[in-house]
Amino acid sequence: MIVTFVHVWVKPKNIDSFIQATIANHKKSIKEPGNLRFDLSQADDNSSKFVIYEAYISEDAAAAHKETEHYKIWRDTVAEWMYKPRMGEKYTLLAPIGMAVWE
């Protein structure tokens, strides 16, 4: 299972548009065959800071996400709304264990 935390810093004037565009991406991403989670969170202490939590069953599934039309539309739409480049951090999930994807 591949987990990525994508940190995004959005210009204040674009926050509402960013949320709408990211929710549209979320709705299609959670329907991808290899997707397990796709969550959007906003920082309590900084409304311009967001984290997207993505979990896919494999590297191939995560890579396939980046080839979808909805991802490419999101990426191109929100690019100019960020005040610094987004940063993705990959993690390996250690718990919970015993999920169907590992059995």
73 CB neighbour count, 10 Å cutoff: 14
Cis peptide before 96 (omega within 30 of 0): yes
Q: What is the pLDDT of residues 16-25, one digit of tens each?
A: 999 999 999 9
E strands, the chain, where? 2-10, 35-42, 49-56, 82-92
Look at the chain and count its residues.
103
Q: What interhelical angle do 15-29 and 69-78 show, nearest 10?
A: 170
Q: What is the pLDDT of residues 34-87, one digit of tens each?
A: 999 999 999 999 999 999 999 999 999 999 999 999 999 999 999 999 999 999
Domain 2-94: state its class: alpha beta
| Residue ranges per structural domain of the chain | 2-94
